[in-house]
Chains A and B, each alone.
Chain A
Amino acid sequence: MAIARKNALDHPGLPVSEATAADYFALLKPRVMSLVVFTAFVGLVAAPVTINPLMAIIAIAAIAIGAGAAGALNMWYDADIDILMARTASRPIPQGRIEPRQALAFGLVLAVLSVLTLGVLVNWLSAAMLAFTIFFYAVIYTMWLKRLTPQNIVIGGAAGAFPPMIGWAAAMGSISVESFLLFLIIFLWTPPHFWALALYKSGEYGRAGIPMMPNVAGPASTRRQIFTYALIVALVGVLPFALGYVGELYGAAAAVLGTGFVIASASVLAAPRDDPSMKAEKSLFGFSILYLFGIFAAYLADAVLQRAIVAIGG
Chain B
Amino acid sequence: MGDDFVTLTESQKRARRSRSVAIALALFAMVIIFYAATIAKFGHGFLDRAM
On chain A, the residues within 8 Å of B41 by CB distance are 55, 121
Q: A8: CB under 8 A from chain B?
A: yes
A54-B37, A55-B40 as given contacts; A18 in contact with B6, CB under 8 Å = no
Contact B22 A5 (CB under 8 A): no
What 1/0 flags go to A9-38 for Cβ under 8 Å of B? Answer: 100000011111110100000000000000
On chain A, the residues within 8 Å of B14 by CB distance are 20
**Which interface class (under 10, 10 to 19, 20 to 34, 35 or more) fits B?**
20 to 34
Contact B18 A22 (CB under 8 A): yes
Pair count A-B, CB < 8 A: 50
List residues of B (7-24) whose CB comes within 8 Å of A's CBs.
8-9, 11-12, 14-16, 18-19, 21-22
Q: How far is the CB of A28 from chain B (nearest CB, A)?
A: 12
Is chain A's interface secondary structure helix, strand, loop, or mixed overall?
Answer: helix
Partner-B contacts on A (CB < 8 A):
1, 4-5, 7-9, 16-22, 24, 52, 54-55, 58, 61, 117, 121
A-B contacts, 5 listed (Cβ < 8 Å): A7-B6, A16-B8, A16-B9, A17-B12, A52-B40
Partner-A contacts on B (CB < 8 A):
4-6, 8-9, 11-12, 14-16, 18-19, 21-22, 33-34, 36-37, 40-41
16 further A-B pairs in the complex, CB-CB below 8 A; given A1-B5, A16-B8, A121-B34 = A4-B5, A4-B6, A5-B4, A5-B6, A7-B6, A17-B16, A18-B12, A19-B19, A21-B19, A22-B18, A54-B37, A54-B40, A58-B33, A58-B37, A61-B33, A121-B37
